[in-house]
Chain A
Amino acid sequence: AQSVTQPDIHITVSEGASLELRCNYSYGATPYLFWYVQSPGQGLQLLLKYFSGDTLVQGIKGFEAEFKRSQSSFNLRKPSVHWSDAAEYFCAVGFTFGNEKLTFGTGTRLTIIP
């Protein structure tokens, strides 16, 4: 069965610093990979997704993620965080394009300090 691991439960970053959130997956083939962001009390918003092709994908709000097959990873990065980036971030994996049931990681809560 596929699974997703987000090893960092909580990360604190200074405003303006760079950010990397880790995501590892377990699946026999190349999955479809997603990152979502959730503000407190809100639904989830799609940041970016990877299906195939270029392993570096760009998303909204200045985020990017890199798929590394050899490491089974899909880490999310941002070069300079803003206070508004404080939220919870979820990595997700699917295996059937267009009809996928996504499996989500347990999330990483991001705190931004001035």
Chain B
Amino acid sequence: SQTIHQWPATLVQPVGSPLSLECTVEGTSNPNLYWYRQAAGRGLQLLFYSIGIDQISSEVPQNLSASRPQDRQFILSSKKLLLSDSGFYLCAWNGGRGGYTFGSGTRLTVV
């Protein structure tokens, strides 16, 4: 069966520090992968999506970047975090059957 792993679960980082969040999918190949951010009371905002290795589309220009070095690995990064980067980050994959499967999320607090 397909599973999605996301880590770390919780992260507290100082302003100006780098960021790397990782998401991996098991049990499937060539999935569509997505990074969403959820800010308090603001729903889910699509940040990046990827249809294949090194194929990344950015939905919202900001302080973040994404990479997909392997078929089932999707990484969200930042060189220098801002306070406004705080939020709950969710990775998801789309196996083509409609709808997403989400990871358990990373709570990022920038201090």
Which A positions have Cβ atoms within 8 angstroms of B? 9, 32, 34, 36, 41-46, 49, 51, 90, 94, 97-107
Contact = CB atoms under 8 A, between A and B. Distances in A.
Which of B42, B44, B92, B94 gathers most chain A CB within 10 Å?
B44
Interface of B: 6, 32, 34, 36, 41-44, 46, 49, 51, 59, 90, 92, 94, 96-105, 107
Contact of B41 (A99, A101, A106): A106
B99 A49 contact: yes
Contacts of B34: 101
A6 B92 CA distance: 22
Given A36-B102, A99-B51, 14 more contacts: A41-B107, A42-B105, A43-B103, A43-B105, A44-B44, A49-B99, A90-B43, A90-B44, A97-B98, A99-B94, A102-B46, A102-B99, A104-B44, A107-B43
Contacts of A41: 105, 107
A9 B90 CA distance: 21
Nearest to B88: A41
Contacts of A36: 102
A32 B96 contact: no
Contact of A106 (B42, B46, B97): B42
Given A43-B105, A49-B99, A105-B43, A100 B94 contact: yes
A98 B103 contact: no
A46 B41 contact: no
